[in-house]
Amino acid sequence: MAGQTAWDVHKQLIGGSDLEAQARQAFMNLRAVVEAAGGTLADVVSVRIYIVDYRPDKAEAVGSAFRHFFSGEARPASTWVGVAALADPRFLIEVEAIAVLD
């Protein structure tokens, strides 16, 4: 899946300047895309998370959202990448994933 951000279905930004709220919306969007393709989050094998101005103090907000959506025993491999900016200056996070569907 290409990058999922904190936009809702009406392209309204969810979460404002709250990183955890934006992360939860991005993961919710990721789940919707996987389910639309006939899968579940259990089919996700790899996640790349882009975080604007990443610093260690942002880890809990992102990690909390990640654990909420990937709470199973087998979690996907994940890479967190700090970036200077994303496509919309209001975005704080973008999530990209690979899912394997039968």
pLDDT digits (tens, 9 = 90+) for 1-34: 899 999 999 999 999 999 999 999 999 999 999 9
Cα separation, 76 vs 39, in Å, equals 14
How much is the pTM?
0.95
Q: Would you list the domain boundaries of the chain? A: 19-99
- Tell me which of 2.60.40.10, 3.40.50.10330, 3.20.20.10, 3.30.1330.40 is the CATH number of domain 19-99: 3.30.1330.40
For residue 85, report the phi and psi dihedrals to the nearest 5 degrees: -165, 165
Could you read off the pLDDT of 36-60 as tens digits, one per residue? 999 999 999 999 999 999 999 999 9
Residue with tokens 């994940």: 78
What DSSP character marks residue 18?
-
